[in-house]
A and B are shown apart, each in its own frame.
Chain A
Amino acid sequence: MMKRSILTGQRLVAVFLFGCVLFNYPVIALFNKTGELLDIPLLYLFLFGAWGLLIGLMAWVIEHRQE
């Protein structure tokens, strides 16, 4: 049985809440502009960047858990 590490769970919930902030108004409104960074539309870059960041955080939390 998977031992429920409460700390891991809390870290993941923190990532969840962080993601809720990133992918919601008003943060997306900050990037919702015509304009490009590195020749890539700002919102597209932000969404995929933030998405990748969240996945990275979750991967870090999961793979560094202590059971």
Chain B
Amino acid sequence: MLQSWVIASVSFAYLGVLFAIAYYGDKRADAGRSIIANPTIYALSLAVYCTTWTFYGSVGRAASTGIGFLPIYLGPTLMAGLWWFVMLKIIRISKANRITSIADFVSSRYGKSHLLGGLVTIIAVIGIVPYISLQLKAVSNSFTILLHYPDIVMPARAAAQPLLQDSALYIALILAAFTILFGTRHLDATERHEGMVAAIAFESLVKLLAFVAVGIFVTFFLYDGFDDIFDRAELVPRLKALMTVDDTGASYGSWWSLTFLSMLSIMFLPRQFQISVVENVNERHLARAIWLFPLYLLLINIFVLPIAVGGLLHFPDGSVDADTFVLTLPMAEQQEALALLVYIGGLSAGTGMVIVETIALSTMVCNDLVMPVLLRWKSLRLHEEQDLSWLLLSIRRWAIAAILLLGYIYFRAAGEAYALVGIGLISFAAVAQFAPSIVGGIYWKGGTRQGAIAGLVAGFAVWVYTLLLPSFAKSGWLSLSFISEGLFGIGLLKPQQLFGLSGLGEIPHSLFWSMLANIGCYVAVSLRRRPDVVETSQATLFVDAFRHTEGDQRSRFWRGSAQVQDLLPLIGRFLGPERARDAFLIYARRRGVASIDQLEANADLVHYAETLLAGAIGGASARVMVASVVKEEPLGIDEVMNILDEASQVRAYSRQVEQKSHELEEATAELRAANERLKELDRMKDDFMSTVTHELRTPLTSIRAFSEILLEDPKTNLENRRKFLAIIVKETERLTRLINQVLDMAKIESGNAEWHTADIDLREVIEESLAATSSLFADKRIGLEKRLAGDVPSVRADRDRLIQVMLNLLANAVKFCEEDRGRVTVRLFAEGGAARVDVEDNGAGIAEADQPTVFEKFRQVGDTMTAKPQGTGLGLPISRQIVEHFGGRLWVKSSLGKGATFSFTLPLDAGEARQEERRQND
């Protein structure tokens, strides 16, 4: 049995849990250990989007329009895809400028205008208060229904409760107390409420759990799963129609406009702005919310259609309002606990929305409506007050109470009227009016204050005329002829067929005209004049938000003189002297100054103070207050433009610096590579030293050995003496050759070598080299083939050096050929403007991997330590140096076991080019 005391105590227990969570959250925040600094909690708190209008209302909408309830949740899913750019930008702008409400955002963007802030606040209050009423109504209805358990009585048909027994009144009062406690605990420059957010995230979990529980109960216990429910629906034509959308252009148009509307709502509903922007702890949290929040929406919607169909099947006579199916289905099945859980879920949905929305609205009302008036009201002598923070807090508290009371009064007045029932989408359409000036404001620098005002006023007026007033008429507060015949009976002014536009639903119709008027006026009026100084500077801060880091740009737009002794008390008056002192101390420390007195009151400090103040009383009021204590020199528009130019120059300069540092990095890398190369050379030098000393020692050893024999044994016969002396001479020659080559190499390397350049005939050089090496060929009985073309012109080179190259190549070829079977071919021919010489052998060949190595200095193919070195390792490097000195190229082509071909070229045109040159000079 669910008696009223059970329901009441469960409700209070649940609210008690909320209080506890919020209290704990605030305590942890004060201790610096936030419990909401977590992307999942952020995503959950965003689900404040789902109010009782979702919790109870979705099923109601699904029961009448079928699947047409879905666009309201598809829109936010799509919008989440754009959050990475749009929402992140809004968050960053808001954090940099300490923006605490959507009104403050618009007002700050267009030159910190009080008028704009007030306008946005009024639109928000008019659009949202009925929505708050709807929450009170839903919660109070669910309470009433549950109270009549096990009978199912519709509250609309129940007797109206006298004021003092009306549960909605008490709900409103309790919520006001909760909101005041956790929404205005202290004045914070960032206006964040961690405890409240923690409670909201918890509520989001509860409402999801409750709704999914009902969904599972209806789908799988009341019926036999999705297929069973849908099969039964197939049999009833009215239910079958719910599964599809009317196949008409109008219904597709309505589908899309609802999607579009909800895309705007998820960004610009004051409660969404509060949670997603103002309460955002860390912008990184946004990333996960981009997919987690749509997932939440999907989960809470999966069972909507099954519950609607189940309810319609269960209560076929229409005696039960479809909006209550979520609650009445468990009740009809005597599921007391589930019904109670649903009731708590609905309570979560309602209270979550009311709390956040009221905090958001109260901040706007206080900062953008009341404070501007009070500050201008000279007779209040507010400027003489030392501490105004109490005033700010009490304005907010009163605003919260007033908004909730207003919501309650509207609820009492409207009751079952259409003006309340249909308010969900009407509210959405109201906040959609903020879209042009906000989206335009962060991507277009040309928007002006007048443009934004014109757009908002026009859009709002159209909204009032096409949605709000007709809803009044349908509630019987205005004559119905207003809808059917138009204002003053003029057909073209019919509010839901404006200028004869028919065939659209009321929401698409209103959305079209209001957006047309809004965007049209915003753009047209903005384009009438150039943005003024303040607008330009604010536009730069907003549009280029991603390019600026905090502070650098802002203080550029200010010039004047100020005193710390003036600023500090001013901030202290609104934040409280202690907090102001602390904030200034933090600033001083960041600047490396020991005390506040030593602070220099420059543009930076003035902006710091203004931003602090903006967090508490809004951007526009902060501007006015700061201006009242500092002497400002107004900047001309040209100066602002110059500053912006400078700023772009600074940016260009910083790009240059970046480039330079990049180049520096590259240079470092090159240096590192060069260093590696040097180390390698050093190592090679060591190798060379060991090779050379080895080479030197071998002949020296034999010279010494034979010399000693000759010295110690005078009786050695003549023949042996002759033989030994011959060996000594040969070894000495080998020594000389080695030393000559080393010296030669050193000379070429250092550029000190002498070159005797002349026109020479390569045939002659080759013939001479072959003659010089003929004994080598004869010794090993190696065959020689000459193919020397006769028509090769002369080249410019050093004859002796070329012979050196040839001798080297020929000696190598012979060296690697086997005795008897060896065969060496020498070719000379002209090729592509160069003379080319090939020396081909059929010896051991050189492995592919070793081919580059043979031209390296001090390197020999094969193991130099074990096998007897076949030379100094300098012949080929020297040859290559010589050929390259004359503009040619020396390379090898070979594979292991198939011989090797060493080739070099020398340019032919060298001689001709010089003759050409001479002719031109003559």
Write the residues of chain A forming the contact surface with B, with a CB cutoff of 8 angstroms: 1-2, 4, 8-9, 12-13, 15-16, 19-20, 23-25, 28-29, 32-34, 36, 38-44, 47-48, 51-52, 54-55, 58-59, 62, 65
Contacts and interface: CB of A to CB of B under 8 A. Distances in A.
Interface stretch (B282-290, B442-450, B519-527, B646-654): B282-290
B284 A41 contact: no
Contacts of A24: 252, 255-256, 259
B67 A62 contact: no
Contacts of A59: 291, 295
Contact of A58 (B233, B245, B294, B305): B294
Interface stretch (B73-81, B495-503, B763-771): B73-81
A32 B244 contact: yes
B284 A55 contact: no
Contacts of B83: 12
A40 B230 contact: yes
A47 B230 contact: no
Given A4-B88, A51-B294, 16 more contacts: A4-B84, A4-B546, A12-B83, A12-B290, A16-B81, A23-B259, A24-B256, A28-B252, A32-B244, A41-B243, A51-B298, A55-B298, A58-B290, A59-B291, A59-B295, A62-B288
B82 interface: yes
Given A12-B81, A33-B244, A54 B294 contact: yes
Nearest to A5: B84
B85 A55 contact: no
Contacts of A47: 67, 70, 74
B247 interface: yes
B243 A34 contact: yes
Contact of B85 (A1, A13, A32, A52): A13
Interface in B226-268: 226-227, 230-231, 233-234, 240, 243-245, 247, 252, 255-256, 259
Contacts of B746: none
B550 to A, nearest CB: 10
B302 interface: yes
Contact-residue size bin, chain B (C-beta under 8 Å from the other chain): 35 or more
A29 B255 CA distance: 11
B291 A62 contact: yes
Contacts of B227: 38-40
Contacts of B233: 41
A43 B243 contact: yes
Given A39-B226, A58-B290, A23 B305 contact: no
A39 B231 contact: yes
A6 to B, nearest CB: 9
Contact of A62 (B240, B252, B290, B305): B290
A55 B231 CA distance: 29
7 contacts: A2-B88, A2-B284, A13-B84, A23-B78, A28-B245, A55-B77, A62-B290
A55 B259 contact: no
Report the 4 A-B pairs with minimum CB-CB distance, sorted nearest first.
A16-B81, A39-B227, A41-B243, A59-B291
A58 B240 CA distance: 33
B243 A2 contact: no
Contacts of A2: 88, 283-284, 286-287
Given A52-B298, A54-B294, A62-B287, A43 B67 contact: yes
B295 A55 contact: yes
Interface of B: 67, 70-71, 74, 77-85, 88, 92, 226-227, 230-231, 233-234, 240, 243-245, 247, 252, 255-256, 259, 283-284, 286-288, 290-291, 294-295, 298, 302, 305, 546
A44 B546 contact: no
B395 to A, nearest CB: 34
B245 A19 contact: no
A2 B42 CA distance: 15
A43 B231 contact: no
A28 B82 contact: no
A44 B287 contact: no
Contact of A25 (B74, B252, B295): B252
B284 A19 contact: no
A4 B87 CA distance: 12
B245 A32 contact: yes
B286 to A, nearest CB: 7
A44 B67 contact: yes
Contacts of A32: 244-245, 247
A27 B71 CA distance: 15
Contact of A34 (B84, B244, B298): B244
Q: Which of A29, A40, A54, A58 is packed against the most chain B CB atoms within 10 Å?
A: A58
B245 A43 contact: yes
A16 B227 CA distance: 31
A33 B243 CA distance: 8
Contacts of B305: 44
B244 A48 contact: no
A67 to B, nearest CB: 9
A62 B234 CA distance: 40
A58 B286 contact: no
A61 to B, nearest CB: 8
A41 B232 CA distance: 12
A62 B693 CA distance: 67
Contact of B230 (A28, A36, A54): A36
A11 to B, nearest CB: 9
A9 B82 CA distance: 8
A52 to B, nearest CB: 7
Contacts of B546: 4
Contacts of B259: 23-24
Contacts of A8: 84
A18 B435 CA distance: 23
Nearest to B546: A4
A47 to B, nearest CB: 6
Nearest to B297: A51
B85 A9 contact: yes
Contacts of A28: 245, 252, 255
A32 B252 CA distance: 11
Contacts of B288: 62
Given A29-B247, A29-B252, A15 B287 contact: no
A4 to B, nearest CB: 7
A24 B75 CA distance: 11
A23 B79 CA distance: 13
Nearest to B306: A44
A16 B82 contact: yes
Q: Which of A23, A33, A42 is packed against the most chain B CB atoms within 10 Å?
A: A23
Contacts of B247: 29, 32
Nearest to A38: B227
Given A28-B252, A29-B252, A44-B243, A58 B85 contact: no
Contacts of B67: 43-44, 47
Nearest to B249: A25
B255 A55 contact: no
A48 B298 CA distance: 8
B74 A51 contact: yes
Contacts of B226: 39-40
A3 B71 CA distance: 32
A2 B81 CA distance: 16
A62 B40 CA distance: 14
A35 B80 CA distance: 32
Contacts of B287: 2, 62, 65
A25 to B, nearest CB: 4
A42 B227 CA distance: 12
A10 B353 CA distance: 33
Contacts of A34: 240, 243-244
A62 B88 CA distance: 14
Contact of A54 (B77, B243, B283): B77
Contacts of A58: 80-81, 290-291, 294
Contacts of A39: 226-227, 230-231
A49 to B, nearest CB: 11
Contacts of B244: 32-34, 41, 43
B22 to A, nearest CB: 27
A62 B287 CA distance: 6
